Amino acid sequence: MSILIKGGRIIDPSQGIDGTGNVLIENGAIKSYPKTTKKYEQDIDVTVINAKGKVVSPGLVDIHVHLREPGFEHKETIRSGCESAAAGGFTTIVCMPNTNPVNDNASVTEYILLKARTEGIVNVFPIGAITKGEMGETLAQIGEMYEAGCVGVSDDGMPVMNAKVMRHAMEYVQAFDIPVISHAEDKNLSGAGVMNEGEVSTQLGLVGIPCASEDVMVSRDITVAELTGARLHICHVSTAGSVRLIRAAKKRGVKVTAEVTPHHFILTDEAVNEYDTNAKMNPPLRGKKDREAVIEGLKDGTLDAIATDHAPHSEDEKKVEFDIAPFGIVGLETALPLSLKLVQDGALTLNQMISKLTDAPSDILNLGKGTLKVGSAADVVIFDPEKEFTVDRNKFHSKSKNSPYHGWKLKGVVNYTIVNGKIVYTG
């Protein structure tokens, strides 16, 4: 089966392409960029998509997703998470190991990949745990998980507090050339914190998580990466301090990359007012200066990629006292329009923004995705960057609806998501 995408604005930062043209997909791969289309339009075996006025780009890549399966299927499953991804324009997602059981050995990795192959409609790559059970004590079966298909290791949500354990993890992964992905947080400094420490937390009487809690750990991890020579990737950067530290480390030549979530460049801790548990996540929403700093970091390349930290939780789990509500929000179905806000505000060009959601995240984990190169798998998103819509969480494909953007008016609607040459979502 073939697909012809006709007359769209093709933007592929991996090849430096930005121009109107046609894309031909054949046998699941990008076949060519034909100059004329008449021949294919007359062929009944070719599905023709008119992309006039739309953007055609590599399918989006999200390197930070919680799929919740196995163990928390009431929040999300691999199937529903993939559907949510497709609806958001993502063709590749990378899932974190904090499932139950934790993905700390090859059998869990294989289970996830099997489920993804049979039920998932987008590409799924798992991340393995750094330590057994994400307990921060002894190394997980990193080599076997790598063989089974893990593309990196992380104890996301449970920072490795022991620097010596982190050192050995960073040394060990170099045998497989995968990065260590750090959720950078000093748990002692965070204490019982539930939101950013600042004026808002003081007023609300909620225990704060200081920015220093992240900065201290980013600093430690960069230092250990320098010691070991490992590739370090910092998750969901939220503070001005982290941006500063990563910028300086990159300048020195440390092999460090970093991502930022849409909520950290869109929202501040003001969103917690009136105790909205859909504004509770970790790292927390920070102050205005931090938000400006992460946008600056995206602009100057300190922050390589945008990743959602898609963290589904059921309505019942979130409709409780703020202190006991779980951290996290869903993000797959709002990431593209929120990222487009950066373009509307003039912080990034459309090309830069697409790069941060395609080839840049793919390169961090060597996924070989996020490109429309001839011969590569046909993962494509077609979207209308100008079309306005109102976010309705009840229409999410994710099992969970924990989004702070419900009711927001945003621009950017996904028209088609194509994975390996197959249309998996039509908007």
Partner 1 sequence: MTFQRKHILGLEELSAEEITLILDTAESMKEVSARDVKKVPALRGVTVCNLFYEPSTRTRSSFEIAEKRLSADVLNFTLSHSSVSKGETLLDTARNLEAMGASVIVIRHPMSGSPWLLARELNSSIINAGDGSHEHPSQALLDLFTIREMKGKIKGLKVAIVGDILHSRVARSNIWGLVKLGAEVRVVGPPTLIPKYIEKPKVRAFYNLEEAIEGVDVVIMLRIQMERQESVYFPSLREYSRFYGLTREKLKNADKDVTVMHPGPINRGIELSSDIADDASSVILNQVSNGIAVRMAMFYLVASAGRSQ
Q: Report the catalytic residues.
A: 309
- For the segment 322-351, give every residue that binds partner 1 (CB under 8 A): 322-324
Q: Is the C-alpha dihedral spanning 99, 105, 108, 112 positive or negative?
A: positive
Query: Which lies closer to partner 1 via its Cβ, residue 163 or residue 204?
Result: 204
Selected binder of partner 1 within 198, 283, 297, 370 (CB under 8 A): 198
Q: Does 212 bind partner 1 (CB under 8 A)?
A: no
Question: Which region among 28-36, 96-104, 315-323, 338-346 touches partner 1 (by CB under 8 A)?
Answer: 315-323
Q: What is the 3-state secondary structure (H, E, C) of the chain?
A: CEEEEEEEEEEECCCCEEEEEEEEEECCEEEECCCCCHHHHCCCCEEEEECCCCEEEECEEEEEECCCCCCCCCCCCHHHHHHHHHHCCEEEEEECCCCCCCCCCHHHHHHHHHHHHHHCCCEEEECECCEHHHCCCCECCHHHHHHHCCCCEECCCCCCCCHHHHHHHHHHHHHCCCCEEECCCCHHHHCCCCEECCHHHHHHCCCEECHHHHHHHHHHHHHHHHHHCCCEEECCCCCHHHHHHHHHHHHHCCCEEEEECHHHHHCCHHHHCCCCHHHCCCCCCCCHHHHHHHHHHHHHCCCCEECCCECCCCHHHHCCCHHHCCCCCCCCCCHHHHHHHHHHCCCCCHHHHHHHCCHHHHHHCCCCCCCCCCCCECCEEEEEEEEEEECCHHHCCCCCCCCCCCCCEEEEEEEEEEECCEEEEEC
Region binding partner 1 by CB under 8 A among candidate stretches 138-146, 195-203, 220-228, 336-344? 195-203
Q: Does 275 bind partner 1 (CB under 8 A)?
A: yes
- Identity at 407, one-letter amino acid code: G
Give the other-Cβ count within 10 Å of 86's Cβ: 29
Contact 314/75 with Cβ under 8 angstroms?
yes
Q: Please, what is the minimum distance in Å from the beta carbon of residue 350 to partner 1?
A: 38
Q: How far is the CB of 326 from partner 1 (least distance, A)?
A: 13
Asked if 188 is part of the footprint of partner 1 (rule: CB under 8 A), the reply reads no
319 binds partner 1, rule: CB under 8 A: yes
Task: Give the nearer residue to partner 1 in terms of CB position, either 45 or 321.
Answer: 321
Does 206 participate in binding partner 1 (rule CB under 8 A)?
A: yes
Binding to partner 1 in span 75-134, by CB under 8 A: none
Cβ proximity to partner 1, 177 vs 199, nearer residue: 199
* Shortest distance in whole angstroms from residue 324 CB to partner 1: 6
Planar angle of CA 318, 213, 267, nearest 5 degrees: 50
Q: How far is the CB of 193 from partner 1 (least distance, A)?
A: 12
CB of 200 to partner 1, least distance (A): 8
In the bound state with partner 1, the residue whose beta carbon lies nearer, of 195 and 293, is 195
Is residue 204 within the footprint of partner 1 (CB under 8 A)?
Answer: yes
Task: Report the residue from 1, 175, 227, 320 that binds partner 1 according to the rule CB under 8 A.
Answer: 320
**Residue 202 sits in the site that holds partner 1 (CB under 8 A):** yes
The answer to whether 45 contacts partner 1 (rule: CB under 8 A) is no
Which CB sits closer to partner 1, 176 or 275? 275
Give the interface segment with partner 1, choosing from 6-14, 171-179, 204-212, 338-346 (CB under 8 A): 204-212
Residue (94 or 272) nearer to partner 1, CB:
272
Is residue 56 close enough to count as binding partner 1 by CB under 8 A?
Answer: no
Assess 321 for contact with partner 1 (CB under 8 A).
yes
Burial 384-398 (b: 16+ CB within 10 A, else e): bbebeeebebeebbb
CB nearer to partner 1: give 285 or 357.
285
CB nearer to partner 1: give 45 or 316. Answer: 316
Question: Interface with partner 1 includes 288 (CB under 8 A)?
Answer: no
Tell me the C-alpha distance between 192 and 184, whole Å. Answer: 16
Binding flag, residue 289, partner 1 (CB under 8 A): no
Per CB under 8 A, does 177 bind partner 1?
no
According to CB under 8 A, which one of 36, 44, 205, 251 is a site residue for partner 1? Answer: 205
Under the rule (CB under 8 A), what is the footprint of partner 1?
A: 197-199, 201-207, 274-275, 316, 319-324
